[in-house]
Amino acid sequence: MMQGNGRIWGFICGITLVALSRIYSCFSVSIPDQVAAPPDDARAPDIYIEAYVTGYNTVPAQTDQTPCISASGANICGRRDTVACPPILRPGAVVEIRGRAYVCEDRMAPKYRGRFDINCDKDKRCPYQVTGWTSVKVLPSRASL
């Protein structure tokens, strides 16, 4: 018997709350602009990826028949600021590897989807110097954030 009465009282209380909320929604409360605006120093959190990093040279034996043209269509010969990134990052994304910024202009082969491959251009020593596990920081892109 008590269970039925509790449901009725719950129903009545619910209707009362809805009615009160409609009555009080007619009143407006103004919020000062400075409280509603987010702080200027608010920024996105830093994103790090623990990844294996390798290096490659812009030569046909290590790429394809057009080693200077990246997946994004950019000419990367003569540049040391580009990297082949996993598919999770879009072309043009900027990453920081060991304190140096690189632009994702190329894509990794599907079998190496968890790696980053730094463009060493023609420096044959570079691939050996950059290879290893490290934290890769994804930086805010130039156009957004």
∠ Cα 75 77 81 (to 5°): 90
What is the CATH topology of the domain spanning 47-139?
Answer: Barwin-like endoglucanases (2.40.40)
Report field, pTM of the whole predicted structure over 0.75: no
DSSP annotation string for 127-140 = HHHH-EEEEEEEEP
Two tokens, residue 74: 């950019």
- Where along the chain do its domains lie? 2-31, 47-139
Tens digit of pLDDT for each residue in 60-104? 998 889 999 999 999 999 999 999 999 889 999 999 999 999 999
Q: How far is Cα 53 from Cα 128, in angstroms, rounded to an integer?
A: 10
Tens digit of pLDDT for each residue in 29-61? 555 555 555 555 566 778 899 999 999 999 999
CB neighbour list of residue 48: distance below 8 Å, 6 or more residues apart: 135, 136, 137, 138
